[in-house]
Amino acid sequence: MKWFLAKVILLAVLVGLILGLQSLGGAVTLWWDTWRFDVALSTAILAVGLLVIVLVSLIRIWGWLGRLPQRIRDYRLRSHEVQRIKKLADLTLDFLEGRYTRVIKSAESFDKEFQDLNASQTSVSRMVAVLAARAAHRLRDIPLRDQWLEKARAEPSRWSADHPQLQGLTQAEFFIEDHDGGAAVRVLEPLLKGDRRHIHGTRLLMRACELTGQWSEVIRLVRLLENRKALHQTVVEKVKRSAYAGLLKAAAANPTAIKAVVDKMSSAERTDPHLAAMVARAWIRESRHSEARQILEAALKAHWDPHLVEVYADCADNPREQFARLEQWAQSHPESFELCWAMGRLSHSQGLWGKAELHLQRASILRPSVRVSLARAEVADAQGKVEEARQFWLQAARLAESQRVAA
Protein backbone atom coordinates (compact mmCIF):
# COMPACT_ATOMS: atom_id res chain seq x y z
CA MET A 1 0.00 0.00 0.00
CA LYS A 2 2.86 2.36 0.81
CA TRP A 3 4.46 1.84 -2.58
CA PHE A 4 1.12 2.29 -4.34
CA LEU A 5 0.54 5.68 -2.68
CA ALA A 6 4.08 6.78 -3.49
CA LYS A 7 3.54 5.92 -7.15
CA VAL A 8 0.22 7.82 -7.22
CA ILE A 9 1.83 10.95 -5.71
CA LEU A 10 4.77 10.73 -8.12
CA LEU A 11 2.39 10.39 -11.04
CA ALA A 12 0.41 13.43 -9.85
CA VAL A 13 3.61 15.52 -9.59
CA LEU A 14 4.66 14.50 -13.09
CA VAL A 15 1.26 15.38 -14.49
CA GLY A 16 1.43 18.77 -12.77
CA LEU A 17 4.92 19.41 -14.18
CA ILE A 18 3.82 18.51 -17.69
CA LEU A 19 0.76 20.77 -17.50
CA GLY A 20 2.84 23.60 -16.05
CA LEU A 21 5.49 23.31 -18.72
CA GLN A 22 2.86 23.30 -21.46
CA SER A 23 1.13 26.46 -20.23
CA LEU A 24 1.43 29.30 -22.75
CA GLY A 25 0.56 32.35 -20.72
CA GLY A 26 1.49 31.48 -17.16
CA ALA A 27 4.02 33.65 -15.34
CA VAL A 28 5.53 33.97 -11.90
CA THR A 29 6.29 37.35 -10.30
CA LEU A 30 8.85 37.70 -7.53
CA TRP A 31 9.03 40.85 -5.37
CA TRP A 32 12.17 41.81 -3.47
CA ASP A 33 11.93 45.23 -1.85
CA THR A 34 11.54 47.57 -4.82
CA TRP A 35 12.62 44.96 -7.26
CA ARG A 36 10.23 42.96 -9.39
CA PHE A 37 11.07 39.79 -11.36
CA ASP A 38 8.75 38.29 -13.91
CA VAL A 39 9.53 34.70 -14.90
CA ALA A 40 7.67 32.34 -17.15
CA LEU A 41 5.89 29.51 -15.26
CA SER A 42 7.87 26.79 -17.03
CA THR A 43 11.14 28.50 -16.21
CA ALA A 44 10.15 28.83 -12.56
CA ILE A 45 9.25 25.15 -12.33
CA LEU A 46 12.59 24.11 -13.83
CA ALA A 47 14.46 26.46 -11.50
CA VAL A 48 12.70 25.09 -8.43
CA GLY A 49 13.43 21.53 -9.55
CA LEU A 50 17.10 22.27 -10.07
CA LEU A 51 17.26 24.03 -6.69
CA VAL A 52 15.75 21.02 -4.94
CA ILE A 53 18.22 18.68 -6.67
CA VAL A 54 21.17 20.87 -5.68
CA LEU A 55 20.02 21.13 -2.06
CA VAL A 56 19.45 17.40 -1.71
CA SER A 57 22.87 16.70 -3.25
CA LEU A 58 24.57 19.13 -0.90
CA ILE A 59 22.84 17.59 2.14
CA ARG A 60 23.88 14.06 1.11
CA ILE A 61 27.47 15.13 0.45
CA TRP A 62 27.59 16.86 3.83
CA GLY A 63 26.23 13.76 5.57
CA TRP A 64 28.70 11.51 3.75
CA LEU A 65 31.60 13.76 4.72
CA GLY A 66 30.38 13.80 8.33
CA ARG A 67 30.33 9.99 8.45
CA LEU A 68 33.68 9.60 6.75
CA PRO A 69 35.77 9.22 9.96
CA GLN A 70 33.39 6.54 11.24
CA ARG A 71 33.47 4.78 7.88
CA ILE A 72 37.25 4.73 8.00
CA ARG A 73 37.17 3.32 11.54
CA ASP A 74 34.65 0.65 10.48
CA TYR A 75 36.81 -0.32 7.52
CA ARG A 76 39.88 -0.69 9.71
CA LEU A 77 37.89 -2.75 12.22
CA ARG A 78 36.58 -5.05 9.49
CA SER A 79 40.10 -5.52 8.14
CA HIS A 80 41.33 -6.29 11.64
CA GLU A 81 38.51 -8.82 12.17
CA VAL A 82 39.36 -10.54 8.90
CA GLN A 83 42.99 -10.81 9.95
CA ARG A 84 42.05 -12.19 13.38
CA ILE A 85 39.69 -14.75 11.89
CA LYS A 86 42.40 -15.80 9.45
CA LYS A 87 44.91 -16.22 12.29
CA LEU A 88 42.42 -18.24 14.28
CA ALA A 89 41.64 -20.43 11.27
CA ASP A 90 45.36 -20.92 10.57
CA LEU A 91 45.95 -21.94 14.18
CA THR A 92 43.12 -24.49 14.03
CA LEU A 93 44.31 -25.89 10.71
CA ASP A 94 47.87 -26.13 12.04
CA PHE A 95 46.53 -28.18 14.94
CA LEU A 96 44.61 -30.48 12.60
CA GLU A 97 47.74 -30.91 10.48
CA GLY A 98 49.78 -31.83 13.53
CA ARG A 99 51.99 -28.72 13.50
CA TYR A 100 51.92 -28.51 17.27
CA THR A 101 54.98 -26.31 17.76
CA ARG A 102 53.51 -23.71 15.42
CA VAL A 103 50.20 -23.87 17.29
CA ILE A 104 51.87 -23.05 20.59
CA LYS A 105 53.81 -20.13 19.09
CA SER A 106 50.67 -18.70 17.47
CA ALA A 107 48.63 -19.10 20.66
CA GLU A 108 51.05 -16.95 22.63
CA SER A 109 49.98 -13.81 20.69
CA PHE A 110 46.23 -14.37 20.88
CA ASP A 111 45.67 -12.79 24.28
CA LYS A 112 46.81 -9.43 22.89
CA GLU A 113 44.94 -9.92 19.62
CA PHE A 114 41.55 -10.26 21.35
CA GLN A 115 41.82 -7.82 24.23
CA ASP A 116 39.26 -5.45 22.72
CA LEU A 117 36.50 -8.05 22.33
CA ASN A 118 35.34 -7.99 25.97
CA ALA A 119 33.19 -11.12 26.53
CA SER A 120 34.10 -12.72 23.22
CA GLN A 121 37.77 -12.27 24.04
CA THR A 122 37.49 -14.71 26.95
CA SER A 123 35.74 -17.42 24.93
CA VAL A 124 38.22 -17.13 22.05
CA SER A 125 41.15 -17.13 24.46
CA ARG A 126 39.81 -20.25 26.17
CA MET A 127 39.45 -22.03 22.84
CA VAL A 128 42.99 -21.09 21.84
CA ALA A 129 44.27 -22.18 25.26
CA VAL A 130 42.64 -25.61 24.87
CA LEU A 131 44.17 -26.06 21.41
CA ALA A 132 47.57 -25.04 22.75
CA ALA A 133 47.19 -27.44 25.70
CA ARG A 134 46.34 -30.29 23.34
CA ALA A 135 49.32 -29.40 21.16
CA ALA A 136 51.65 -29.38 24.18
CA HIS A 137 50.18 -32.75 25.25
CA ARG A 138 50.99 -34.22 21.84
CA LEU A 139 54.54 -32.92 22.24
CA ARG A 140 54.64 -34.47 25.74
CA ASP A 141 55.51 -31.12 27.32
CA ILE A 142 53.50 -31.70 30.50
CA PRO A 143 54.35 -28.45 32.37
CA LEU A 144 53.44 -26.34 29.33
CA ARG A 145 50.29 -28.40 28.83
CA ASP A 146 49.16 -27.78 32.40
CA GLN A 147 49.96 -24.08 32.07
CA TRP A 148 47.73 -23.69 29.01
CA LEU A 149 45.04 -25.88 30.55
CA GLU A 150 44.89 -23.57 33.54
CA LYS A 151 44.29 -20.63 31.18
CA ALA A 152 41.30 -22.51 29.79
CA ARG A 153 39.60 -22.57 33.21
CA ALA A 154 36.30 -20.66 33.28
CA GLU A 155 36.14 -17.57 35.48
CA PRO A 156 33.31 -18.19 37.98
CA SER A 157 32.47 -14.51 38.28
CA ARG A 158 31.82 -14.08 34.57
CA TRP A 159 31.68 -17.45 32.90
CA SER A 160 30.03 -19.87 35.31
CA ALA A 161 27.30 -20.69 32.77
CA ASP A 162 29.41 -20.67 29.61
CA HIS A 163 31.09 -24.01 28.77
CA PRO A 164 31.89 -24.94 32.37
CA GLN A 165 32.94 -28.49 31.39
CA LEU A 166 35.56 -27.51 28.82
CA GLN A 167 38.61 -27.58 31.06
CA GLY A 168 37.54 -30.70 32.96
CA LEU A 169 36.77 -32.78 29.86
CA THR A 170 40.06 -31.81 28.25
CA GLN A 171 41.97 -32.70 31.41
CA ALA A 172 40.17 -36.04 31.63
CA GLU A 173 41.19 -36.86 28.05
CA PHE A 174 44.81 -36.17 28.97
CA PHE A 175 44.57 -38.46 32.01
CA ILE A 176 43.05 -41.25 29.91
CA GLU A 177 45.77 -40.98 27.27
CA ASP A 178 48.32 -41.15 30.11
CA HIS A 179 46.52 -44.30 31.40
CA ASP A 180 45.66 -42.58 34.68
CA GLY A 181 42.09 -43.79 34.92
CA GLY A 182 41.66 -42.92 38.58
CA ALA A 183 42.42 -39.23 38.03
CA ALA A 184 40.10 -39.17 35.00
CA VAL A 185 37.25 -40.65 37.05
CA ARG A 186 37.75 -38.08 39.80
CA VAL A 187 37.51 -35.26 37.24
CA LEU A 188 34.58 -36.66 35.25
CA GLU A 189 32.21 -37.83 37.97
CA PRO A 190 31.40 -34.31 39.29
CA LEU A 191 31.09 -32.95 35.74
CA LEU A 192 28.65 -35.62 34.57
CA LYS A 193 26.64 -36.02 37.75
CA GLY A 194 23.01 -36.21 36.68
CA ASP A 195 23.87 -35.52 33.03
CA ARG A 196 22.92 -38.63 31.06
CA ARG A 197 22.89 -36.87 27.70
CA HIS A 198 26.57 -35.92 27.51
CA ILE A 199 27.71 -38.57 25.03
CA HIS A 200 31.36 -37.51 24.82
CA GLY A 201 31.73 -37.29 28.59
CA THR A 202 30.06 -40.68 29.05
CA ARG A 203 32.47 -42.25 26.58
CA LEU A 204 35.40 -40.76 28.45
CA LEU A 205 34.05 -42.00 31.78
CA MET A 206 33.58 -45.49 30.34
CA ARG A 207 37.20 -45.58 29.16
CA ALA A 208 38.40 -44.30 32.53
CA CYS A 209 36.44 -47.00 34.34
CA GLU A 210 37.99 -49.59 32.03
CA LEU A 211 41.44 -48.39 33.06
CA THR A 212 40.54 -48.62 36.75
CA GLY A 213 38.80 -52.00 36.45
CA GLN A 214 35.36 -50.73 37.53
CA TRP A 215 33.67 -53.32 35.36
CA SER A 216 30.15 -52.98 36.76
CA GLU A 217 30.22 -49.26 36.00
CA VAL A 218 31.62 -50.00 32.53
CA ILE A 219 28.65 -52.27 31.80
CA ARG A 220 26.20 -49.61 32.99
CA LEU A 221 27.81 -46.93 30.84
CA VAL A 222 28.13 -49.07 27.71
CA ARG A 223 24.46 -50.02 27.97
CA LEU A 224 23.58 -46.34 28.28
CA LEU A 225 25.62 -45.52 25.18
CA GLU A 226 24.18 -48.51 23.33
CA ASN A 227 20.62 -47.34 24.02
CA ARG A 228 21.49 -43.92 22.62
CA LYS A 229 23.20 -45.53 19.59
CA ALA A 230 26.38 -43.63 20.45
CA LEU A 231 28.73 -46.60 19.93
CA HIS A 232 29.19 -49.00 17.05
CA GLN A 233 27.85 -52.45 17.81
CA THR A 234 31.30 -53.99 17.39
CA VAL A 235 32.69 -51.63 20.04
CA VAL A 236 29.75 -52.40 22.34
CA GLU A 237 30.40 -56.15 22.07
CA LYS A 238 34.14 -55.71 22.64
CA VAL A 239 33.65 -53.54 25.73
CA LYS A 240 31.04 -55.89 27.20
CA ARG A 241 33.28 -58.91 26.69
CA SER A 242 36.25 -57.26 28.38
CA ALA A 243 34.01 -56.05 31.24
CA TYR A 244 32.43 -59.45 31.88
CA ALA A 245 35.84 -61.09 31.57
CA GLY A 246 37.08 -58.77 34.30
CA LEU A 247 34.07 -59.53 36.51
CA LEU A 248 34.46 -63.30 36.03
CA LYS A 249 38.17 -63.07 36.77
CA ALA A 250 37.41 -61.21 40.00
CA ALA A 251 34.76 -63.84 40.83
CA ALA A 252 37.13 -66.79 40.36
CA ALA A 253 36.67 -69.67 42.85
CA ASN A 254 33.48 -68.05 44.13
CA PRO A 255 30.31 -69.62 42.68
CA THR A 256 28.12 -67.01 44.38
CA ALA A 257 30.03 -64.20 42.70
CA ILE A 258 29.86 -65.98 39.34
CA LYS A 259 26.09 -66.31 39.72
CA ALA A 260 25.88 -62.59 40.52
CA VAL A 261 27.71 -61.85 37.28
CA VAL A 262 25.33 -64.09 35.33
CA ASP A 263 22.33 -62.40 36.95
CA LYS A 264 23.73 -59.04 35.85
CA MET A 265 23.54 -60.13 32.21
CA SER A 266 20.55 -59.38 30.04
CA SER A 267 18.84 -62.16 28.10
CA ALA A 268 20.55 -61.04 24.88
CA GLU A 269 23.96 -61.05 26.59
CA ARG A 270 23.46 -64.55 27.96
CA THR A 271 22.92 -65.89 24.45
CA ASP A 272 25.91 -64.04 23.01
CA PRO A 273 28.29 -66.87 21.92
CA HIS A 274 31.42 -65.24 23.28
CA LEU A 275 29.90 -64.31 26.64
CA ALA A 276 28.15 -67.68 26.97
CA ALA A 277 31.43 -69.51 26.36
CA MET A 278 33.17 -67.28 28.89
CA VAL A 279 30.58 -67.95 31.60
CA ALA A 280 30.48 -71.68 30.81
CA ARG A 281 34.25 -71.99 31.23
CA ALA A 282 33.98 -70.17 34.56
CA TRP A 283 31.34 -72.69 35.73
CA ILE A 284 33.41 -75.62 34.43
CA ARG A 285 36.45 -74.43 36.37
CA GLU A 286 34.29 -74.61 39.48
CA SER A 287 33.00 -78.09 38.47
CA ARG A 288 29.48 -76.68 38.10
CA HIS A 289 28.79 -78.53 34.85
CA SER A 290 25.02 -78.32 35.10
CA GLU A 291 25.04 -74.50 35.07
CA ALA A 292 27.57 -74.52 32.22
CA ARG A 293 25.41 -76.87 30.18
CA GLN A 294 22.29 -74.75 30.68
CA ILE A 295 23.87 -71.54 29.46
CA LEU A 296 25.57 -73.29 26.51
CA GLU A 297 22.40 -74.99 25.31
CA ALA A 298 20.41 -71.76 25.59
CA ALA A 299 23.07 -69.89 23.61
CA LEU A 300 23.27 -72.62 20.94
CA LYS A 301 19.50 -72.57 20.60
CA ALA A 302 19.56 -68.83 19.93
CA HIS A 303 22.77 -68.68 17.84
CA TRP A 304 24.49 -71.73 16.39
CA ASP A 305 28.22 -71.35 16.93
CA PRO A 306 30.72 -74.25 16.52
CA HIS A 307 33.01 -72.74 19.18
CA LEU A 308 30.25 -73.17 21.76
CA VAL A 309 30.05 -76.84 20.79
CA GLU A 310 33.76 -77.11 21.53
CA VAL A 311 33.17 -75.76 25.04
CA TYR A 312 30.16 -78.09 25.33
CA ALA A 313 32.56 -81.03 24.98
CA ASP A 314 34.30 -80.03 28.23
CA CYS A 315 30.99 -79.99 30.09
CA ALA A 316 30.36 -83.44 31.61
CA ASP A 317 26.98 -82.93 33.23
CA ASN A 318 25.16 -85.89 31.66
CA PRO A 319 27.28 -87.29 28.78
CA ARG A 320 24.51 -89.56 27.46
CA GLU A 321 21.92 -86.79 27.16
CA GLN A 322 24.54 -84.40 25.83
CA PHE A 323 25.62 -86.88 23.16
CA ALA A 324 21.98 -87.31 22.08
CA ARG A 325 21.69 -83.51 21.82
CA LEU A 326 24.84 -83.41 19.69
CA GLU A 327 23.38 -86.02 17.34
CA GLN A 328 20.28 -83.84 16.90
CA TRP A 329 22.43 -80.82 16.14
CA ALA A 330 24.51 -82.84 13.67
CA GLN A 331 21.38 -83.53 11.62
CA SER A 332 20.50 -79.85 11.21
CA HIS A 333 23.97 -78.28 11.01
CA PRO A 334 26.95 -78.94 8.73
CA GLU A 335 29.70 -81.18 9.96
CA SER A 336 32.53 -79.31 11.65
CA PHE A 337 35.68 -80.05 13.60
CA GLU A 338 34.09 -78.79 16.81
CA LEU A 339 31.05 -81.07 16.42
CA CYS A 340 33.17 -84.16 15.73
CA TRP A 341 35.50 -83.30 18.61
CA ALA A 342 32.60 -82.87 21.04
CA MET A 343 31.00 -86.16 20.02
CA GLY A 344 34.35 -87.93 20.35
CA ARG A 345 35.00 -86.45 23.82
CA LEU A 346 31.54 -87.34 25.12
CA SER A 347 31.85 -90.86 23.71
CA HIS A 348 35.20 -91.17 25.45
CA SER A 349 33.69 -90.06 28.78
CA GLN A 350 31.05 -92.82 28.44
CA GLY A 351 33.62 -95.48 27.56
CA LEU A 352 32.25 -95.90 24.03
CA TRP A 353 35.65 -96.45 22.47
CA GLY A 354 34.45 -97.31 18.99
CA LYS A 355 32.32 -94.18 18.66
CA ALA A 356 35.06 -92.11 20.25
CA GLU A 357 37.65 -93.38 17.75
CA LEU A 358 35.26 -92.79 14.83
CA HIS A 359 34.46 -89.19 15.70
CA LEU A 360 38.01 -88.29 16.73
CA GLN A 361 39.32 -89.70 13.48
CA ARG A 362 36.87 -87.54 11.58
CA ALA A 363 37.94 -84.49 13.63
CA SER A 364 41.59 -85.27 12.84
CA ILE A 365 40.80 -85.30 9.12
CA LEU A 366 38.99 -81.97 9.32
CA ARG A 367 41.70 -80.28 11.41
CA PRO A 368 44.82 -82.12 12.57
CA SER A 369 45.78 -80.94 16.06
CA VAL A 370 47.78 -81.97 19.09
CA ARG A 371 44.78 -82.44 21.38
CA VAL A 372 42.97 -84.70 18.89
CA SER A 373 46.07 -86.89 18.56
CA LEU A 374 46.39 -87.07 22.35
CA ALA A 375 42.71 -87.97 22.70
CA ARG A 376 43.07 -90.74 20.11
CA ALA A 377 46.16 -92.02 21.97
CA GLU A 378 44.09 -92.17 25.20
CA VAL A 379 41.32 -94.11 23.43
CA ALA A 380 43.82 -96.57 21.94
CA ASP A 381 45.61 -96.98 25.27
CA ALA A 382 42.30 -97.64 27.03
CA GLN A 383 41.63 -100.47 24.57
CA GLY A 384 45.09 -101.94 25.11
CA LYS A 385 46.41 -100.91 21.68
CA VAL A 386 49.81 -99.85 22.93
CA GLU A 387 51.55 -99.55 19.55
CA GLU A 388 48.68 -97.53 18.07
CA ALA A 389 48.67 -95.27 21.12
CA ARG A 390 52.43 -94.75 20.73
CA GLN A 391 51.94 -93.70 17.10
CA PHE A 392 49.34 -91.12 18.13
CA TRP A 393 51.64 -89.74 20.84
CA LEU A 394 54.46 -89.40 18.30
CA GLN A 395 52.04 -87.69 15.94
CA ALA A 396 51.04 -85.25 18.71
CA ALA A 397 54.74 -84.53 19.41
CA ARG A 398 55.44 -83.83 15.72
CA LEU A 399 52.42 -81.53 15.47
CA ALA A 400 53.46 -79.69 18.62
CA GLU A 401 56.99 -79.21 17.27
CA SER A 402 55.78 -77.98 13.88
CA GLN A 403 53.39 -75.53 15.52
CA ARG A 404 56.16 -74.27 17.80
CA VAL A 405 58.50 -73.71 14.84
CA ALA A 406 55.74 -71.95 12.89
CA ALA A 407 55.02 -69.70 15.86
pLDDT digit string (tens) for 97-147? Answer: 999 999 998 888 876 666 655 544 577 888 888 999 999 999 999 999 999
pLDDT at residue 18, rounded to an integer: 66
pLDDT at residue 116, rounded to an integer: 59
- Of the chain, the percentage scoring pLDDT greater than 70 comes to 89
| Per-residue model confidence as pLDDT tens digits over 252-269 | 888 999 999 999 999 999
Q: Which CATH architecture group holds 318-407?
A: Alpha Horseshoe (1.25)
More confident residue, 180 or 74: 180
Lowest mean pLDDT among 54-58, 136-140, 153-157, 335-339: 153-157
Domain segments of the chain: what residues? 84-153, 170-250, 253-305, 318-407
pLDDT at residue 6, rounded to an integer: 67
pLDDT at residue 261, rounded to an integer: 93
pLDDT at residue 174, rounded to an integer: 93
Which among 18-22, 161-165, 283-287 has the top mean pLDDT?
283-287
| Per-residue model confidence as pLDDT tens digits over 78-95 | 887 888 888 889 998 999
pLDDT at residue 114, rounded to an integer: 65
CB 135 within 8 A of CB 100: yes
| Per-residue model confidence as pLDDT tens digits over 308-324 | 998 998 888 888 899 99
pLDDT at 212 over 70: yes
Same fold, 170-250 and 318-407: yes
Please state which CATH number belongs to domain 170-250. 1.25.40
pLDDT at 343 over 70: yes
